[in-house]
Amino acid sequence: MLFFTSDTHFNDPRILRLDRRPFASLAEHDNALIASWNETVTPDDEVWHLGDFARHGKASVGVLLSRLHGRKNLIIGNNDSQETVAADEWASAQHYAELRVDGVMLILCHYPFRTWNQMAKKSINLHGHSHGKLKPLTRQYDVGVDARSFRPISLPALLQQDRARPQAPQD
């Protein structure tokens, strides 16, 4: 199965204060996110992490990645250091990707777009960065942990969860 997530901010003490995440300590935060990830993702699944993964050096990022299930791809975020990007455990690392999943074009970037490729042909923009605080456009989804119960989400679950949300008008 294919999963998406973003903005885990492992080992980043600022995240508890800035986003008021409900954890007493950074260790509790990191352990809870790892547990939620591994409850959701199997070792055979694929995960696209849409940026702001961790505040670690390359070796520590590698250790962290080895603790997380699945084949992991990184879409680089504004808080991902060169050491994070260079970790050998990533299957891929880039700033932007387009995937076709079950006939649907997915546009992946850390940042939400105002417009995106094949928008008029019902493509979907998956992003992070906004920590659940941005009003989305139609067919635009924040997959960050703040918006998704601190765990990765599959495309079918994402679309089903958000069917009832009010849709913003789109030109």
pLDDT digits 0-9 by tens, 69-112: 999 999 999 999 999 999 999 999 999 999 999 999 999 999 99
pLDDT at 12 over 60: yes
Mean model confidence pLDDT for the chain:
92
Q: Which of 14-18, 47-51, 62-66, 85-89 has the lowest mean pLDDT?
A: 14-18
In a domain, 57, yes or no: yes
In a domain, 49, yes or no: yes
pLDDT at 148 over 80: yes
In a domain, 83, yes or no: yes
- Range of 80's domain? 2-161
In a domain, 167, yes or no: no
Domain count across the chain: 1
Residue found by looking up tokens 């042909």 in the block: 121
Neighbours of 94 (CB within 10 A): 13
Nearest to 19 by CA among 141, 104, 128, 156: 128
What pairs with residue 99 in β-bridges?
106
> Which H helix or E strand runs over 35?
helix 26-40
- Tell me the three state secondary structure of residue 59: helix
CATH of the domain at 43: 3.60.21.10
In a domain, 54, yes or no: yes
Using CA atoms, how far apart are residues 109 and 74, in angstroms rounded to an integer? Answer: 10
In a domain, 168, yes or no: no
In a domain, 169, yes or no: no
What pairs with residue 100 in β-bridges?
105
Q: What is the average per-residue pLDDT within 157-163?
A: 83
pLDDT, position 154: 97
pTM of model > 0.95: no
pLDDT, position 163: 65
pLDDT, position 8: 97
In a domain, 73, yes or no: yes
